[in-house]
């Protein structure tokens, strides 16, 4: 299984990934024209040419970007998603599914899908099957919004979790953001474990890989950004190291066992 990283653009290119075997992450892969030295203005690479992305032989270079749809009622992917994704699938083409919550604290918008229960896994299976029937390669995007959330979307109306207890500016982008609760050091392994279990569930659902959502101001990004991470002492490294997922360095390779 493979992992892509969706990282802040000023840290790394979006597409830097790891190949994940069923039991451990094995090697780093870099892919796509963005990282391809041979691509230039004078020597462009046509989109409709094959690309070897780690273990995958893509038949072309057009990728469905992850797009939040808010149609997974009570966080359960719905049968109509099989129609939506299979309509966009091509033989040998890569699709990345919409951002999908790794736990019951991960949601920041209503009706976004989850991957932390058996019901979620079972609901994803026919959707993944529909894409595979068209020959598509299908990745799940794993997501935790952190403080980009509100009490209404949190279990028992609790505060969203983050690297800070500072709230997003009220009303920013029209959101009803609630003040978050800063995670303690002891809680961070549990969050990392949520991502690990979500990856396992993605395997169970039949996905070919996962992308870790590390950008756009969500949880991992909150730990990586000085303006948002106001923890002292052991700071973002607590989450950032295991989630170096985002850094492309090999720290994760030494300690991760996603099986």
Ligand X SMILES: Cc1cc2nc3c(=O)[nH]c(=O)nc-3n(C[C@H](O)[C@H](O)[C@H](O)COP(=O)(O)O)c2cc1C
Give residues in contact with ligand X (CB under 6 A): 6, 65-68, 98-99, 141, 213
Q: For residues 123 and 148, which CB has a smaller minimum distance to ligand X in the complex?
A: 148
Which token pair is 191?
């969050």
Say if residue 115 is exposed, middle or buried (CB neighbours under 10 Å; 0-12, 13-18, 19+): buried
Q: For residues 19 and 68, which CB has a smaller minimum distance to ligand X in the complex?
A: 68
Dihedral sign for Cα atoms in the order 31, 200, 220, 106: positive
Minimum gap (Å) between residue 123 Cβ and ligand X: 17
Minimum gap (Å) between residue 220 Cβ and ligand X: 12
Q: For residues 217 and 248, which CB has a smaller minimum distance to ligand X in the complex?
A: 217
Show Cβ contacts of residue 200 under 8 Å, excluding neighbours closer than 6 positions: 258, 259
Minimum gap (Å) between residue 211 Cβ and ligand X: 8
Pick the catalytic residue: 18, 51, 85, 218?
A: 218
Q: For residues 98 and 208, which CB has a smaller minimum distance to ligand X in the complex?
A: 98
8: nearest Cα among 232, 237, 249, 218 = 218
Other CB atoms within a 10 A radius of the CB of residue 74 amount to 10
Minimum gap (Å) between residue 234 Cβ and ligand X: 28
218 catalytic, yes or no? Answer: yes
Q: What does the alpha-carbon distance between residue 235 and residue 223 come to, in Å, rounded to a whole number?
A: 8
Q: Which residues are catalytic?
A: 218
């Amino acid at each position: 299984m493979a992992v892509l990283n969706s990282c802040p653009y000023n840290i790394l290119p979006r597409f830097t990934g790891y190949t994940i075997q069923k039991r451990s992450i094995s090697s780093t892969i870099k892919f796509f024209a963005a990282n391809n030295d041979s691509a230039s203005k004078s020597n462009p690479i046509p989109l409709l040419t094959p690309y070897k992305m780690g273990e995958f032989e893509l038949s072309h270079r057009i990728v469905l970007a992850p797009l939040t749809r808010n149609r997974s009622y009570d966080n359960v992917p719905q049968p109509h998603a099989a129609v939506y994704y299979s309509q966009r699938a091509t033989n040998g083409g890569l699709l990345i599914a919409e951002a999908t919550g790794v736990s019951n604290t991960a949601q920041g918008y209503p009706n976004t899908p989850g991957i932390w229960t058996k019901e979620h896994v079972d609901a994803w299976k026919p959707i993944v099957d529909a894409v595979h029937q068209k020959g598509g390669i299908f990745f799940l995007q794993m997501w935790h919004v952190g403080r980009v959330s509100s009490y209404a979307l949190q279990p028992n109306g609790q505060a969203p979790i983050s690297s800070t207890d500072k709230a997003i500016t009220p009303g920013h982008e029209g959101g009803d953001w609630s003040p978050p609760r800063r995670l303690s050091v002891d809680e961070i392994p549990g969050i990392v474990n949520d991502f690990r279990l979500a990856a396992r569930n993605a395997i169970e659902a039949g996905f070919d890989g996962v992308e870790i959502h590390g950008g756009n101001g969500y949880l991992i990004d909150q730990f990586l950004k000085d303006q948002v991470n106001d923890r002292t002492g052991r700071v973002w490294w607590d989450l950032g190291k295991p989630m170096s997922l985002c850094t492309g360095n090999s720290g994760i390779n030494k300690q991760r066992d996603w099986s």
